[in-house]
Amino acid sequence: MALPFALNILLVPIESYSFRTHDILRVPRGTGWTGPFYPSAHVSKVETGDLGFNGKYSVEHETEWQTDSFGLRNRPEAAKDNYEVVVVGDSSFAGSALSQKDTIAEALERELDRTVYSFAPRTMAGFLANDRFVDNPPKIVVVSRSERWITPASLKPIDWKAPNSGIEMQARAWFGRNTSRDFQNWFDFSAKKSYLLVFETRNSLGMNKPKIVDEKTGMLFYGVSSAINEPSHEERIKHAVDVVREYKAAAERRGMRFVFVPIPDKETVYFDLIPETHMNLDTQPDFMSELVESLNEAGIEAIDLLSVYNEERSRSGELLYHMDDTHWNSHGVEVAARAIAKAVER
């Protein structure tokens, strides 16, 4: 067992750990790293989507990833003290399945001609607690959340503390706070090169993800999307408005303008392509439109990206999401960046 593991460490490239760079560069929880990814990394890789891995409908595309010295997805030269705009969000804002130039931070920077820094995937609470932005807050903070994560279970208030998982507690006990990060880096990268973990990760992240196929186009959809399962709107919207209002107040206390960008699920935008056996709707799910309306009524500057996407889909017909992935593609990012820039410059 020891010999094959050692050979894997020496011979198997780190790019083999997963079908997407997002997972290759993610740091283990509980080991003291300040960012979500390994710092000062540069990886180029041919990826497939998180729904299409190793399947009939997978689509290969090239990606380039860079992280700064803080382990965030910015080019190394971006790691400085002052920014005009900071974007905070989940894996969509981090740019999963996208090359560096196509991330929302870089697209928005081109649209605004202002410095834009990516603080994703991270929460608003993490942003507010980060010393870099306490001392030098940006003029504008743009916070995002994907539709499927706008739920009471996922959208948490600022003072919510995640309980330590058993894995995290074991990691803390194993590594300890005084353990060299170089050793942590070596240990995690070495473990990721194990064939056992290669198989386990690829299997759990790709092959086992519930998916739906539109046989006519080959587009893949996430089988547990809120657009398909339609839980109660009223509870979700009330919770979201309360939490996002708290985010806005916290940002404004520090002199920052707050903009919220809920990202519609692919299944909501392309609801008409989902086979009737899974969702038989004559009209588009209305959660996102009701959410944005409620947020605006509460005095929160929220961007109606669903309406923007509907208009773009009717106008150009160009895809806004990857065919085999849950995340937006480069065109979807460009359209979103234009909408955000238009709102910011009003």
The C-alpha atoms of residue 69 and residue 79 are separated, in whole angstroms, by 7
Is position 231 within any domain?
yes
Lookup: tokens for 262: 């809920």
Is position 169 within any domain?
no
Q: Range of 328's domain?
A: 42-164+210-344
* Distance in angstroms between the alpha carbons of the first and the last residue of the chain: 62
Cβ neighbours for 230, distance < 8 A, ≥ 6 positions apart? 285, 287
Is position 101 within any domain?
yes
Residue 232 DSSP code: -
Placement of tokens 């690829």 in the chain = 202
Strand, coil or helix: 264: coil
pLDDT (tens digit per residue) in 120-153:
999 999 999 999 999 899 999 999 999 999 999 8
Is position 252 within any domain?
yes
DSSP 282-294: SS---HHHHHHHH
Q: Which CATH number belongs to the domain containing residue 136 in this structure? A: 3.40.50.1110
Exposure b/e, 18-33, CB count within 10 A at least 16 = b: bbbbbebbbbbebbeb
pLDDT (tens digit per residue) in 244-257:
999 999 999 999 99
pLDDT (tens digit per residue) in 282-322:
889 999 999 999 999 999 999 999 999 999 999 999 999 99
What is the band of 31 on the pLDDT scale with cuts at 50, 70, 90? low
- Whole-prediction pTM value? 0.86
Is position 322 within any domain?
yes
Q: How many domains does one find in the chain? A: 1
